[in-house]
Structure 1
Amino acid sequence: MSAFDVPAGGHLFLRAPNWVGDLVMATPVLEAAIADERWSKVSIGLRPHLRAVLAEGPLEPHLVPIEGGEDRVYRELAPDVAVLLSNSFGAALRAYRAGVPVRVGAALSSRGVLLTHRLVPPTWLGRRSPIPTAHLLRDVAALAGVLAPDLHPRLHFGASTAASARAVLDEVGIGAGKPFVVCCPGAAFGAAKLWPPERFAAALDAIHARTGAVGFLTGAPSEAAIVEAVARACTHPVRSAPPATRDLAHLKVWIHDARLLLVGDSGPRWYAAAFDTPCVSVMGPNLPELTATSLEFASIVRVEGLDCSPCLERACPLVHHACMRELGVDAVVAAAAEVLARVPAREVL
């Protein structure tokens, strides 16, 4: 079977990425798949906590939370083709073990032998060349004939979610029409991606002084300590989302409505890309090439010229954490001014 020989009326299963940012980057591919008339059924398998990212849009009827074992999901659905947008070895092993006839994915994590159709990323001098993740996702899907028309992320939210999220803003003193900056200072990947809380606070204070936009802090439950540390360090009346409201559904609305997103190198940056919200992202140990898409309204700020960067480690192996410690507030504030100048203020409420 070639990459484009699809069984008539076949069932396509797409194994979604496990990280928020990668999942949002995959949305052009996922929406292209459900619009592809060759398939009688399209299923999108993802971790349950990520369902809110894709909820309330065209993908929602196709979502299959992976609960109680991925092998069981494959056996129950019995797809004809599995497109693995997750690059883990385990994702390929489970599709192979379940006997999915066609298994499509990138030949990464030593899993090429488990795939029937594989994309081999380019290499240079024996090392993998960094290419944008969004490009890799698009090219893997293309092996199954799923052709995304563009790479612009797509996210959706409904009226009830919008009303709930905006009620939170009103509750903390950010009424309709009042400009605000969403700040997500945490990083699920690990400590290596964390910019010091006092610098996030100083940047928010400076942006407030220049624009009048107040800071609005949020993050995952595991990031509560850093969110509160930023709030304590701010000198202007920054607001924080109540802990019970800090979820991936409300976050869509808050970022959609914000004047600016100030964030580390983490998933919320891609929320901003989906809604064309201006964004400043501080980057430390990551390869900038991996996220070099959807930059029309984004500015990536990082320290150049470090011998140890990018290391791609979860914690700084040299302890000094220079890639973040040497990243100054002035550079971030200047990036915010520049990116805000690219797009006029929007009336969103």
Structure 2
Amino acid sequence: MSLATLHVRKTFEPDRLRSILVASPNWLGDAVLALPVLANLRRSFPDARIALLVRSWLSPLFRSLPFVDELVELPRTGELIWAATALRKRGFDVALLLPNSFRTALISRLAGIPHRVGYMADGRGSLLTVGVRPSSGMVLHQADAYLGLLRALKWDSWLRPTGFLLPPESDAEAEKLLTESGLSPDVRVIGIAPGASYGTAKRWPSERFAEVADLLADRLGIVAILFGSPQEAPLTRAVHERMHGAAINFGGRTSLTELASLLRRCALLLTNDTGTMHLASALGIPCIALFGPTDPHRTGPLGLGHQVLHDPPACSPCRYRNCPIDHRCMQALDVERVVAAAEAVLTRSPLTAVANVRRTPAIFLDRDGTINEEIGAIQHPDRMRPIPGAAEALKRLGEAGYLRIVVSNQARVARGDATEELVDVTHQRLLELLHADGGETDAFYYCPHHPREGRFPYRRDCLCRKPNPGLVQQAAYEQQVDLERSYVVGDKVSDMLLANRLDLPSVLVLTGYGRESLERLHAAGGPMPACTTKDLLGAAEWIVQRRSPG
């Protein structure tokens, strides 16, 4: 189901975009959480010039990114005049506005950017040419909220890269800083970020940070590194003064790149809900994240290996910068619990989190003509009819240990013959019919685009329309698929081409368009399927027989 509604005042052709300006958030944590947007934009528009509009103090975060061609720094003063003059000369085709502020939209409007996309917020709807209104009641992580702009435009929005922030020389920079502080390279260190720029409500008591650091030093020989902004230097100094064990106080003493370099040297980061936490998680550093007034479902660390400690009272979440009562949300987190969480991270193998993610082989299945009878251009739940034997085939594949992932072109959405909601409802009806006969599928991915026909925002030459590999790549990423042991099954030439592009074995079923497809493949000289079978049940039998033991 779509999670947002578009308010379109002016359409554009995505395939004609040559230059894209992305307005970055202004806070460190939000800027880090916006990085997946840039990665997905680059995937969707590999040939476009992508520029990032950013505050100067955040520029170092983005300088080594492969997804951005240029950084455009906002001036410290006179930004509206600058937008109407210098920025206007740049001639960007579209602006993607990640901050929800009126001022960001005004800057893009004054810059004369013809297409401006952002959320309908802060009274700026009239400044947007494509406004996005998220569905009410949805609790989204902030990273997903930013990606929601791409999802609303039907652009790629699933890639979540990590560990790409720093240049190669950063490790040497970190070691130099630590050596100058008297720390030898073989000493194991953890980071501690006791501050929170939003206010004291998000801060765990400073004396407890000191106590945790001392206990870990006594039990595991750990040295703590304290991090904080210049404004938080008094806080890191207070924590340092309370500690009895070895520690290095870098509070107020690091640039953004130095902070990132030192974080990558840490075995973990003990932190409140901070921008430093998000920077660490983006670098692949496990976090012990202490949450109180904020919701970790919205702003928790992304990735594997983190431990979020959160005992929310009835008054949490809240928006207070300073707690007006007894700060019970943070007081509830005791020292021993935090120490135990840190010990669990520090004593496990570095590969444990990755090893615990077991990849599973999958069968990537076309739908119409393979699982159900062809239903034509007009889609309706009442027209769904499973092909005889399809439910049994899916059951056998599941019992053999395969994920059953449906990947389907649904250009009828682009043409206006169906809505995305109708596609979902119709597929749900198919699942009900299959379930009645013991069949199941594990996931459904479909492409709503068409390269030449249809309406905004669905008309575009995308990466997900088969035989392009985008749907399979997304499914493999999100479902933890072992591609080396996977197959493609379908009745169309596009399915065989898809398998060939991914170097996967394919099975052509002779239901649907299968016989016509076989003739076309022979006439074109391939690519020929690894196996041709009467129907999906025959394909399942062939695949199961080929599976090696274990």
TM-score by length of 1: 0.88
1:111 Cα deviation (Å)? 2.9
1:280 Cα deviation (Å)? 0.6
8 Å contact kept, 1:280–1:335: yes
Matching residue's letter, 1:179: R
**Which residue of structure 2 aligns with residue 189 of structure 1?**
198
8 Å contact kept, 2:40–2:159: no
Deviation readout 1:91-137 (Å, 9 max, x if unpaired) = 1232234332211112233433432222222223xxxx431011111
Equivalent in 63, 74, 82 of residue 55 of structure 1: 63
1:292 Cα deviation (Å)? 4.4
**Which residue of structure 2 aligns with residue 89 of structure 1?**
102
**Which residue of structure 2 aligns with residue 20 of structure 1?**
28
Q: 2:351 & 2:139 partners in 1: Cα distance?
A: 35
**Which residue of structure 2 aligns with residue 267 of structure 1?**
275
Equivalent in 182, 200, 208 of residue 199 of structure 1: 208
Matching residue's letter, 2:321: R
**Which residue of structure 2 aligns with residue 335 of structure 1?**
341
**Which residue of structure 1 aligns with residue 185 of structure 2?**
176
| 1:33 partnered with 2:41 | yes
Deviation readout 1:223-261 (Å, 9 max, x if unpaired) = 1000101100111111222754x1210111111111111
The aligned runs of 1:1-349 (5 Å cut-off) are 5-6=13-14, 8-37=16-45, 40-59=48-67, 61-67=69-75, 68-71=77-80, 72-73=82-83, 74-124=87-137, 129-144=138-153, 146-241=155-250, 243-244=252-253, 246-292=254-300, 294-304=302-312, 306-316=313-323, 318-341=324-347, 343-344=349-350
1:159 Cα deviation (Å)? 4.0
8 Å contact kept, 1:24–1:154: no
Q: 2:155 & 2:337 partners in 1: Cα distance?
A: 41
Q: 2:46 & 2:262 partners in 1: Cα distance?
A: 37
Distance 1:181 1:204, change over 3 A: same
SS at match of 1:123: coil
Q: 2:257 & 2:141 partners in 1: Cα distance?
A: 26
8 Å contact kept, 1:117–1:143: no
Matching residue's letter, 1:17: P
Q: Based on CA coordinates, which of the two structures has the bigger radius of gyration?
A: 2
Matching residue's letter, 1:257: R
Compute the RMSD of aligned alpha carbons: 2.5
8 Å contact kept, 1:134–1:293: no
SS at match of 2:14: coil
Q: 1:167 & 1:208 partners in 2: Cα distance?
A: 23
Count of aligned pairs: 339
SS at match of 1:120: strand
Q: 1:238 & 1:35 partners in 2: Cα distance?
A: 43
Deviation readout 1:194-245 (Å, 9 max, x if unpaired) = 221111111111222232211011211111000101100111111222754x
Distance 1:242 1:283, change over 3 A: closer
How much identity, in percent, do the aligned residues show? 31
Q: 1:177 & 1:4 partners in 2: Cα distance?
A: 56
Q: 1:163 & 1:38 partners in 2: Cα distance?
A: 32
8 Å contact kept, 1:83–1:144: no
Distance 1:172 1:228, change over 3 A: same
Q: 2:194 & 2:70 partners in 1: Cα distance?
A: 32
**Which residue of structure 1 aligns with residue 507 of structure 2?**
none
Matching residue's letter, 1:237: A
Distance 1:187 1:231, change over 3 A: same
SS at match of 2:32: helix
Matching residue's letter, 1:328: D
8 Å contact kept, 1:153–1:270: no
SS at match of 1:300: strand
Q: 1:155 & 1:21 partners in 2: Cα distance?
A: 16
8 Å contact kept, 1:106–1:120: yes
TM-score by length of 2: 0.57
Matching residue's letter, 1:131: L
SS at match of 1:228: helix
1:299 Cα deviation (Å)? 1.2
Matching residue's letter, 1:89: F
Unaligned runs of at least 5 residues, structure 1: none
